[in-house]
Chains A and B, each alone.
Chain A
């Protein structure tokens, strides 16, 4: 099972919005509404930010939103704040595998 494709890096100024894409295939992203996103600060444990494509766990700011179209899922961070600077990973359920992660995207707040 190949890893999902994410951009290596994205950046934005405080207050702006950025979108991170996550591209898979019909066997993972496109086949299930089970994409999740994780935030990881350096040296820290991953934190669930979005699950089931567009649901937010309790305590995650509504500045974080998720969507999906075909084989590509997206995470949008609105109203960028300094503390949003981190690595972000997408993950999709993939049936028999059954989980596959993306390679990760470094979000830089300028």
Chain B
């Protein structure tokens, strides 16, 4: 069965500093990978996705992520964080193969705190 691990429950970063959020997945085939952000009281917003091709993908709000098959990782990065980036971040892997989506499998999330 597929799974997603986000090792860091909380991360605190100073405003203007760089950010890396870790994500490891377990999946039997080519993974389809996503990063979502959830602000307090809001739904989930897609930051970026990896389906195939270039392993470095660019997303919205200045985020990027790198797919590393050898490490089963899809870490999210941002060169300089802003106070508005404080939120919960979820990594997810696409559903099982065979034509059906089977929904997304999410990690437990990483809570990002921005220090002034």
Q: Do these two chains interact?
A: no
- Contact residues of B with A, CB < 8 Å? none
